[in-house]
Amino acid sequence: MIERRPAGALGRFRNDWLNARYHFSFGDWHDPARMGWGALRVWNDDEIAAGTGFAPHGHADMEIITYVRSGAISHQDSLGNSGRTAAGDVQVMSAGAGIRHAEMNREADATTLFQIWIQPTTRGGAPSWGARAFPKGDRAGAFVALASGRPGDGDALPIRADARLLGASLRAGETARYELAPGRHAYLATAAGAVDVNGVTLETRDGAAVKDEAVLEVRALRDAEVVLVDTL
């Protein structure tokens, strides 16, 4: 089963500094049919105006992954961590028992990103934050784990969930395969370009909810950048 979720049909929020689309219910946008997908709870597609961002606020008991599509986001938190995550790179925050953070666009132009929340396998624990560069050339033509709580993904940023976030960069005509184990859920979004997923076409910023598909064949119709979450 592959359910395409066109970008134009996603939830919307806009103010003077944030233009957001919601793949799942979030904030004031509520769709009882889109409360999550397995342990995946939030997938927000955010455009943040230059010189603005999310003021300090708190989280607990959530794995929060930020995949930057263009520009950069600057992080600062109550643990004393700070850093700048640029386009194509990833940051992860395990909120644990509680953490406060701010996410600001200190660039001269707008920043675009996916923010993804996954429910952890256990509640509480010490919060943490980390970021890493993932050159797109290293994931050319194949899916590469960028953040993971699954065995064997040692090069990925760690999360406290039975889940993994993967990325692939595909030239037009290239295909990347991903095997989905029985009982697991996948959610895929195109950060750029267009792809065919087992016969379903996804344009830029579309999403797709997937289950009961043993193998995903993701073929680029145009040069494409694809992000995928695999979770229970």
Give the pLDDT band (50/70/90) at residue 162: very high
Residue 19 lies in a domain: yes
Residue 1 lies in a domain: no
Residues 161 and 109 in one domain: no
Average pLDDT value over all residues in the chain:
97
- Give 52-94 pLDDT, tens digit per residue: 999 999 999 999 999 999 999 999 999 999 999 999 999 999 9
Kindly report the pTM of this predicted structure.
0.97
What is the per-residue pLDDT for 45?
Answer: 98
Residues 20 and 128 in one domain: yes
What is the per-residue pLDDT for 135?
Answer: 80
Give the pLDDT band (50/70/90) at residue 136: confident
Give the pLDDT band (50/70/90) at residue 36: very high
Residue 28 lies in a domain: yes
How many whole angstroms separate alpha carbon 228 and alpha carbon 149?
14
What is the per-residue pLDDT for 137?
Answer: 77
Mean pLDDT of 157-169: 97
Contact 88, 134 (CB under 8 A): yes
Residue 211 belongs to what domain range? 136-231
How many whole angstroms separate alpha carbon 159 and alpha carbon 16?
33
What is the per-residue pLDDT for 19?
Answer: 98
In percent, the amount of the chain with pLDDT more than 70 equals 100
138 backbone dihedrals φ, ψ, rounded to 5°: -75, -15
What is the per-residue pLDDT for 139?
Answer: 87
What is the per-residue pLDDT for 154?
Answer: 85
Type of residue numbered 67: Y
Residues 162 and 222 in one domain: yes
* Cβ count near 3 (within 10 Å): 13
Contact 169, 87 (CB under 8 A): no
- Give 175-229 pLDDT, tens digit per residue: 999 999 999 999 999 999 999 999 999 999 999 999 999 999 999 999 999 999 9
The total of structural domains in the chain comes to 2
Mean pLDDT of 38-42: 98
